[in-house]
Chains A and B, each alone.
Chain A
């Protein structure tokens, strides 16, 4: 039994969720091989080979692998899948886009977004926006599994010396073409892995008011999140969205400001260790999951919050 883990990277570095996926893969079986598909990504191959949980790195290069189109990646995974009982990737937009294409080629019923490995064929996964947990057992000979990154610790990035094997690329799929990617560069921690997240909702009223959130996030070295309502209203861009169809976050501290707490938002944050809700509507559902609720007008509370933080001698980073 061997597990094939598909690495997510940007041709320069491994993306952090790959580390969580490697941990999940190693809980299925310790013989974890990582498939790296990209362009000029030798450094990524090297860093993967140094991870102690990785037993082998398979590395394919082609110009048309630069932008991770699923149509180009899937045939290569299928081609080498023969030697593996499990194919695993993270359940973020990379893995969600790619894995079903592989599963269908292999005639396998995929298990999406698992939060626990119970045994090599049995997994725990949330359904209905996390309002229920299902234990599922896959009867397929080859299993395609995506894992929820926040449910698994990142693997060690050192201590290993796996062999790197070059493999041949498969043919280019010419009917899809990458045009551009608009990434928002930020010095802040990534939303998916930040220790603290400060999120704003419709209560922020406009994009400028997010400055109140930003100031607090700066102070706490936090990532900035948002509800779907705030993104839909154009207050902030889509990569900040937390929820059922956005990102799932599990920080030590989640501060929800002006967010009412729809089921779909709670799905993305209710596993956070400590939840703070600031909302002027005392009946808002967000208070039902909050450890500390403050019923107040956010436009008064946030400046005070900043002031109180400034008074502290030290703040954890």
Chain B
């Protein structure tokens, strides 16, 4: 079985993002970038499946600017066999990413495509579902447990009401929740080895994918700030404030 894992380079989850003063976007200069956290779970799961002898090859792929290679290299360092970067400029919407991934899926013919359920920058939560629509494949989103069977996967999904289990035929798209597994760290020797693994670079335009945004970002602003609160001395004061001042209990 061959697994394609899509990853994205985003502002590190620990960074407090800042809005540009002119309202044109988010400050990204000199800001720490990392792989999108649930994409790490997607890579980890693929590696575990390969270690269990149920997969033969893992391809890590990203769509983005030149520097996004770093994110692919990180995936190679934790166990992906080879990488692909589809180079684009500027903002690329999930629909365009899904179309680019579709081209690679048609060429590489993986049995499974894994990715994080949501990117923590645009918070769209769309790409996996869109790719499965374009391919007319089954989708298992928000996966917190995956069991690989003969020609199917049994996937436990995190939903509002609790947990749901579905069975999807292979080939299928799985989007991963943070609770799917505990991503490993890359060891230094593996980081060195990853530098020698093949990484193919393609241009989105060469694949015939139009990445022009369809949604214009008109303005980005800071959300309204909360007024500074107070510290209370003890529980009695807290309850009294809630009852008499805030009037919420």
Contact = CB atoms under 8 A, between A and B. Distances in A.
Interface of A is mostly: mixed
B215 A103 contact: no
Nearest to A231: B179
Interface in A17-60: none
A179 B161 contact: no
Interface of B is mostly: mixed
A15 to B, nearest CB: 9
Interface string B104-126: 00000000000001101111111
B232 A292 contact: yes
A182 B162 contact: yes
B178 to A, nearest CB: 6
A127 interface: yes
A211 interface: no
B80 to A, nearest CB: 23
A97 B129 contact: yes
A296 B234 CA distance: 8
A207 interface: no
Interface string A98-115: 111111110111111100
Nearest to A78: B133
A111 to B, nearest CB: 6
B213 A245 contact: no
23 contacts: A92-B160, A97-B141, A101-B130, A104-B131, A109-B213, A113-B125, A128-B17, A132-B220, A134-B217, A177-B167, A177-B168, A179-B166, A179-B167, A180-B165, A181-B161, A182-B162, A182-B163, A182-B164, A183-B162, A196-B248, A291-B229, A294-B232, A312-B243
A295 interface: yes
B248 A100 contact: no
Given A109-B214, A137-B215, A177-B167, A245 B126 contact: no
Contacts of A165: none
Interface string A299-314: 0010011001100100
Contacts of B208: none
Contacts of B196: none
Interface in B222-249: 222-223, 226-227, 229-232, 234-236, 238-239, 241-243, 246, 248-249
Contact of A305 (B98, B124, B238): B238
B103 to A, nearest CB: 14
Contacts of B61: none
A298 to B, nearest CB: 11
Given A101-B132, A131-B16, A292-B242, A238 B163 contact: yes
A247 B130 contact: no
A136 interface: yes
A170 interface: no
Interface string A110-143: 1111000000001000111111111111111000
B69 to A, nearest CB: 23
B17 A309 contact: no
A291 B246 contact: yes
Contacts of A231: 179
B13 interface: yes
A146 B108 CA distance: 33
Contacts of B241: 292
A7 to B, nearest CB: 15
The 9 closest A-B pairs by CB, nearest first: A100-B129, A109-B214, A104-B133, A104-B130, A100-B126, A176-B138, A291-B229, A304-B235, A308-B239
A290 interface: yes
Contact of A181 (B130, B131, B163, B236): B163
A80 B125 CA distance: 24
